Chains A and B, each alone.
Chain A
Amino acid sequence: MVAIHALDVASRGGRLATLRTAGFIARMPGNAREMESAEAAERERIRDLQLVATTRDRAAFRRLFDHYGPRVKAYLRRLGTDEDTAEDLTQEVFVSIWRRAEQFDPAKASVGTWVFTIARNKRIDALRRDRAPTQEADDPELEIDPAPRGDAVAELAQMSALVMRAVETLPEEQKKLLKIFYFEEKPHSAIAQELGLPLGTVKSRLRLALAKLRALLGEEQT
């Protein structure tokens, strides 16, 4: 067991190193300026979250709340949570963000992904009030490997900006499909019925959208 674990650690460097800056720019959809502004926005959010962590800076926290609060609420509403519960759960999500800010590691996740993970786990815990929260639900980053190099933060900010841009460049129907899969808790057969498409078509469209995103990220197809 110990030996296998050591191998796991050794293999991380090589895999993560596939995301190279040059490759990013070559595959970048849209123009470079938009990409840079998305990265700049991400850097500002990282800085705000780090200000919350280090100095309990309420102005920085408010900026994060103003941006993500209505989006977290939108996510909860979209999943069928009623207005009152969505408002209250969003408040709880931000109390968690305030308390856990020190645990945020910009080398592991974008601010948006970190916020989403906390919101997702809060919602799951609210649905399963009768159960003790799972450890994973408490620690959203538990499973994610630390990136091996010094420029990991910049690399991740680039990847986040790239995924964001890539989502914007997807055909409308594929974007819609991804949102349904992420934000509507329905069996796939119900999704197909709602879209008036055969299940096989829905699945192949989803695969297509994901393959496109993987190609943009320079990940091999498997």
Chain B
Amino acid sequence: MTDALTLDELLLGHAAGSLPEPLDLVVRTHLALSPDGRRRYRLYRALAGALLETLEPVAMRPGAWERLDRAIDRVEPIRVPPVSVGDPRVPPPLRPYVPEGYERLPWRNLGPASEVELPIGTPGYRARLIQLKGGKSIPRHTHKGHEITVVIEGSFRDVQGVHRRGDLVIADATVDHSPVADEDCLCLAVTDAPLKLTGPIGRLLNPLLRI
């Protein structure tokens, strides 16, 4: 599939500030939890600064400096970086959506898993937190669009391997999987199109389930 999304495109998109909010949220959560992700991301940040230098400058208007010189008379320096508030279990990028801890969210029980939809407000996207108990699995399914998952706690495995805390996993129509939790697992999953159940029973349930 030529429009397959890659981790590098997501990291570049985040550095450039061009991702839709749900995808940006998933990348920020990945970066907050994954030292490997942050290491990989360094190039994209450095590139942003380097490319800024290569742009053909567009002159500021006459008097721009005087305007700025006056504007800074009226402002105070911001000395301390904003202190992160909220539940320390929740990665900072998710805290606006999980203000009072995971337990207080309106979880919906789906049998092996439970999920809660985050009020993300970008048309065409869904962002959900999914809890899967250790040893349990999600029915086999594939995807019409992309499903980007970040492991927040625990781990799960599927055809692509074992995914641990902080890992970002991209699945699309080429991935037909039934994720299994190795231990109690909490994930953030963003989809840009409905999933499609592919197991024998799942196919029958497709019209009913919005898993």
Binding site for B on A (CB under 8 A): 1, 4, 8, 11-12, 15-16, 56, 58, 61-62, 65-66, 68-75, 77-78, 86-87, 90-91, 94-95, 98-103, 109-117, 120-121, 123-124, 128, 132, 134-136, 138-139, 141-145, 159-160, 163-164, 166-168, 175, 178-179, 181-183, 185, 188-189, 198-200, 203, 206-207, 210, 213-214, 217, 219, 222
Contact = CB atoms under 8 A, between A and B. Distances in A.
Contacts of B165: 4
B48 interface: yes
Contacts of B64: 65, 69, 87, 90-91
B57 A203 contact: no
A113 B49 contact: yes
Contacts, number: 192
6 contacts: A71-B52, A71-B53, A115-B49, A117-B48, A123-B17, A132-B96
A183 B16 contact: yes
Contact of A120 (B12, B17, B54): B17
Nearest to B54: A167
A78 B55 contact: yes
Given A12-B35, A135-B92, A99 B78 contact: yes
B77 A99 contact: yes
Interface residues of B, number: 62
Given A116-B48, A116-B49, A8 B35 contact: yes
B2 A199 contact: yes
A213 B42 CA distance: 12
Interface of B: 2-3, 6, 8-9, 12, 15-18, 21, 28, 31-32, 35-36, 38-43, 45-61, 64-65, 67-69, 71-72, 75-79, 81-82, 84, 88-89, 92-93, 95-96, 153, 165
The 9 closest A-B pairs by CB, nearest first: A112-B49, A113-B49, A70-B57, A120-B17, A74-B55, A74-B58, A164-B50, A163-B46, A182-B16
